[in-house]
Chain A
Amino acid sequence: AQSVAQPEDQVNVAEGNPLTVKCTYSVSGNPYLFWYVQYPNRGLQFLLKYITGDNLVKGSYGFEAEFNKSQTSFHLKKPSALVSDSALYFCAVVRGYSTLTFGKGTMLLVSP
């Protein structure tokens, strides 16, 4: 079954420092992978996706993610964190042809 795992419930980082939010996947075949962000009392906002091609994917708000097939990972990164990046981040993989299976989410807290 297609699934993703986010091993960290929470990530803490100081403003200005680089951040990484981890995601690993378990799929048969080639995965379609997504990152979404959820701010308090809001729906999910699309950040970026990996379908095929370059392993380094660039997305919204300065975020990027690296697809690593050998490590079955798709970690979300940003070179310099902002306090406003504090939110709940979800990794997701396409299941079948029609739905997304989400990880349990990682809370990112950026301190001033």
Chain B
Amino acid sequence: GAGVSQSPSNKVTEKGKDVELRCDPISGHTALYWYRQSLGQGLEFLIYFQGNSAPDKSGLPSDRFSAERTGGSVSTLTIQRTQQEDSAVYLCASSLAAIGGGTEAFFGQGTRLTVV
């Protein structure tokens, strides 16, 4: 497809387990973003990748969260030792270039994570 693809669409996990969320950006997009959407917090920035530059990790809420982007394309967001407060929708987005240049970001449909 032509859009940002995220998998799985839904994930239920037990507290304390690790989870991996996957994002396939639009082909050719150099920038990739992860956001978290929850009822109490709205849309929170998590991490940003741009080409081969070091990622901007300033939004990661704790050291249980990490992300990588392999080959400048697919990205994986990993949450270790999940907690109930990690329950949210995790959204991935990509853009042709950095949005600071005025390029819009395109979002995937998200992964709904439920920690029980």
A43 to B111 Cα, complex, angstroms = 10
Given contacts A46-B105, A98-B50, A100-B105, contact A90 B100 (CB under 8 A): no
Given contacts A44-B91, A94-B99, A96-B100, contact A101 B45 (CB under 8 A): yes
Q: Is the CB of A102 within 8 A of B91?
A: no
Task: Give min CB distance, B52 to chain A, whole Å.
Answer: 15
Residue on B nearest A95 in the bound complex, by CB: B45
Residue on B nearest A102 in the bound complex, by CB: B43
Task: Give min CB distance, B96 to chain A, whole Å.
Answer: 12
Set of chain B residues within 8 Å of A96, measured between Cβ atoms = 100
Interface string of A11-38 (1 = CB under 8 A from B): 0000000000000000000001010100
Task: Give min CB distance, A40 to chain B, whole Å.
Answer: 11
Q: Is the CB of A43 within 8 A of B109?
A: yes
Given contacts A98-B48, A99-B33, A99-B48, contact A43 B100 (CB under 8 A): no
Interchain Cβ contacts within 8 Å, total number: 58
Given contacts A90-B43, A102-B43, contact A46 B98 (CB under 8 A): no
Residue on B nearest A99 in the bound complex, by CB: B45
Set of chain B residues within 8 Å of A51, measured between Cβ atoms = 102
Summarize A's interface: helix, strand, loop or mixed. strand
Q: How many residues in B have their beta carbons less than 8 Å from beta carbons of A?
A: 25
Interface size bracket, A side? 20 to 34
Asked whether any CB of chain A lies closer than 8 Å to the CB of B110, the reply is yes
Residue on A nearest B48 in the bound complex, by CB: A98
Given contacts A97-B98, A99-B45, A99-B99, contact A46 B59 (CB under 8 A): no
Asked whether any CB of chain A lies closer than 8 Å to the CB of B108, the reply is yes
Set of chain A residues within 8 Å of B109, measured between Cβ atoms = 41-43
Task: Give min CB distance, A73 to chain B, whole Å.
Answer: 20
Task: Give min CB distance, A80 to chain B, whole Å.
Answer: 25
B residues bordering A, Cβ < 8 Å? 4, 6, 31, 33, 42-43, 45, 48, 50, 56, 59, 91, 93, 98-102, 104-110
Report, nearest first, the 4 A-B pairs whose CB atoms are least far apart.
A97-B100, A43-B107, A102-B43, A51-B102
